[in-house]
Amino acid sequence: MKRNRKVKIVATLGPASSTYEMIRQLHEAGADVFRLNMSHGTHEEIAERHRAIRQVEKDLDSPIAILADLQGPKLRVGEFANKSEELEWGEPFRLDLDKTPGDHTRVCLPHPEIFQALEPGSSLLVNDGKIRLRVEDCGPDHANCVVVTGGTISNRKGVNVPDVVLPVAALSEKDRKDLEFVSALGVDWLALSFVQRPEDVTEARELCGGRAAILSKIEKPAAVRAFDEILAVSDGIMVARGDLGVELPVQNVPPIQKRLVRKCRAAAKPVIVATQMLESMIESPMPTRAEVSDVSGAIYEGADAIMLSAESAAGQYPVEAVTTMNNVAQEVEGDPTYTEIIEASRTASAKRSSVADGIVAAAREIAETTDIKAICCFTSTGTTAQLVARERPRVPIIAMTSHRGAARRLSLLWGTYCVMTGELERFKQAVVNAARAARSAGFATEEDQIVVTAGVPFNISGTTNILRVAPCDERLIYRTDPE
């Protein structure tokens, strides 16, 4: 489905958006990727949502990416005798392994791995950072703390440990079962939570066995510190600002976001900016001005995609939320300042060392200095399309592939319109197919020209070696192109 924008929209499915009719409305309103949140819903419910997405894809003949987001390990305190307690600033408070119901002086923290990693001076955050504790002394089964920020602590509230790398696997037993389930189901992207080190990603990739691309969620300070190594072993990145904003001072999150987006662009790997983008639209048909500015900021940075969470999963206005994102994106990308910012930040740090790098850089340069309507690239795995998207060209990118899985994955990629094509043997036929696709999608007419990139021999990954400026009139192609 042709979009009048280049940034992609990810919409999370949930109770408010699980039917075929609603999923189709969301896609037609602008959702390019659907997120299945494995923290909510049974396997039967997830499978039904997956089935509905694929039916919409078939009915509209529009490749759609499905992103399954694993829950990750959840660290929580135990229960209180009175269900909740008030913690006051300066008071002592103890965390231990004793399962006796807690009171105003202590509570169970049933995670010995946390005690193994703590040191005096470490911080513990409870209930999304509303309560902050500082460790005074600790051992293998306890941590004696002082309350730095007080508040109400209650049963099973989540715990964050921002200062240390925890000896906790990114994949819980639930995650392993979910990973196998969604991989067998046929999702395109697998989002990995609680990433702290590159080994977390490597483990998930081995379990996945190539059935889905791996997207690492950056939501912990340890992941920010090890970002270059994590990026190197990931297929894509999600900047999950919710937990980042809990574990880091909130003022640190915007520069981190900008830095990570730049690095992803330089590496030619897609990046999603997520969390609380249009939060008020869970209950309101209109966003706040601050939210619109936040969404705009991610688009100006050149992020591949922006994501809706509860807004589309459980909110009262899921279609309106997608429509708002679509409208904001169109307005921002129509701003001349957008082009200036994107081009000023164009991957100066990108390492161009291959023939394919040179081909796609030349394609962008030609498209921007002559009257070219689109760049058409033939790709088997999606790598060539990612290299073209890294250039952030002004014209649309038409990614042509004979692999349905590649077309679906590329639905997440900035500026990319995906088209299925048959197996090819001759470059002339590739050019003809590209011209037809450009005309059919409304990017060009018979009087226009396009740039075509491909690799010969066809259907071999990493062989991009041809660039052709071609007319969109098939008669001219057959008249001028050699066999």
Classified as helix, coil or strand, 77 is coil
Half-sphere exposure of 188 (CA within 13 A, CB side): 26
Q: How far apart are CA 396 and CA 373, in angstroms?
A: 7
CA 368, CA 359: separation in Å to the nearest integer? 14
Omega within 30 of 0 (cis) for the link into 287: no
The Cα-based distances of 149 to 49, 87, 91, 191, 481 in angstroms read 41, 8, 10, 32, 72
Which residues does 183 contact at the CB level (< 8 Å), separation at least 6?
190, 207, 208, 209, 211, 212
Q: Which residues are the active-site residues?
A: 35, 76, 217, 275
For the chain, give the number of residues: 483
DSSP structure class, residue 101: P
Per-position DSSP letters for 198-260, written without gaps between them: HHHHHHHHHHHTTSSEEEEEE-SHHHHHTHHHHHHH-SEEEEEHHHHHHHS-GGGHHHHHHHH
CB 168 within 8 A of CB 137: no
Measured distance between the N- and C-terminal CA atoms of the chain, rounded to whole angstroms: 32
Nearest C-alpha neighbor of 35 from the set 382, 298, 241, 309: 309
Q: How far apart are CA 14 and CA 243, in angstroms?
A: 21
The C-alpha atoms of residue 230 and residue 214 are separated, in whole angstroms, by: 11
Query: Each residue of 235-271: b (16+ CB within 10 Å) or e?
Result: bbbbbbbebbbbbbeeeebeebbbebbbbbbbbbbbb
- For residue 177, what are the contacts with CB-CB under 8 A and spacing of at least 6? none
Using alpha carbons, list the distances in angstroms from residue 367 to 6, 416, 464.
16, 15, 18
Please answer whether residues 144 and 121 qualify as being in contact, where contact means their C-beta atoms are separated by less than 8 angstroms.
Answer: no
Helix, strand, coil tally for the chain in percent (to 5): 40, 25, 35
Is-contact 45 68, C-beta < 8 A?
A: no
Q: How far is Cα 124 from Cα 88, in angstroms, rounded to an integer?
A: 15
